[in-house]
């Protein structure tokens, strides 16, 4: 009989946690959902949900203030299937859950990522026209 293990691996502040193998020291109960892209692909939002306790409530404040970048991998039998990298944009809490809203690191407008320009110093000689010659 073959076991199918499906879960998530979360990298947060350099520490890796997982939610699919109870008994390991790196187990953290959390849920990941909502990684949905729009047609232009410029913003993918998702959320992380933790049980509400003193630890997760303190994380909420710290992660929002620091605008932390987190990586979530979907795992099937210890192999990554999907990877999502997001920046903590906001959060909320109630009696039972702490929720972190993640925004794609590609969302330069919403998160105010610093502008970056292509220059010859960064990428080498730049074309001066749109003409292409093959051969």
14 vs 40, higher pLDDT = 14
Q: Which residues contact 37 (CB under 8 A, 6 or more apart)?
A: 43, 44
Q: Model-level pTM?
A: 0.68
Q: ∠ at Cα 99 (113, 13), nearest 5°?
A: 55
- Give domain limits for the chain: 6-123
Find the mean pLDDT for residues 79-108.
84
What is the average pLDDT score of the chain? Answer: 80
* Model pLDDT, residue 85: 87
């Amino acid at each position: 009989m073959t076991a199918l293990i499906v879960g998530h691996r979360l990298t947060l502040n350099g520490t890796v946690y997982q939610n699919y193998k109870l008994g390991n020291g790196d187990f953290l109960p959390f849920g990941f959902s909502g990684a949905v892209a729009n047609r232009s692909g410029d913003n993918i939002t998702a959320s992380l949900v933790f049980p509400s306790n003193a630890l997760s409530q303190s994380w909420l404040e710290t992660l929002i203030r620091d605008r932390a970048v987190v990586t979530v991998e979907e795992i099937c039998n210890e192999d990554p299937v999907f990877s999502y990298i997001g920046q903590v944009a906001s959060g909320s809490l109630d009696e039972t859950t702490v929720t972190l809203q993640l925004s794609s690191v590609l969302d330069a407008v919403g998160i105010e990522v610093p502008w970056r320009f292509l220059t010859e110093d960064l990428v080498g000689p730049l074309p001066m026209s749109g003409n292409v010659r093959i051969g």
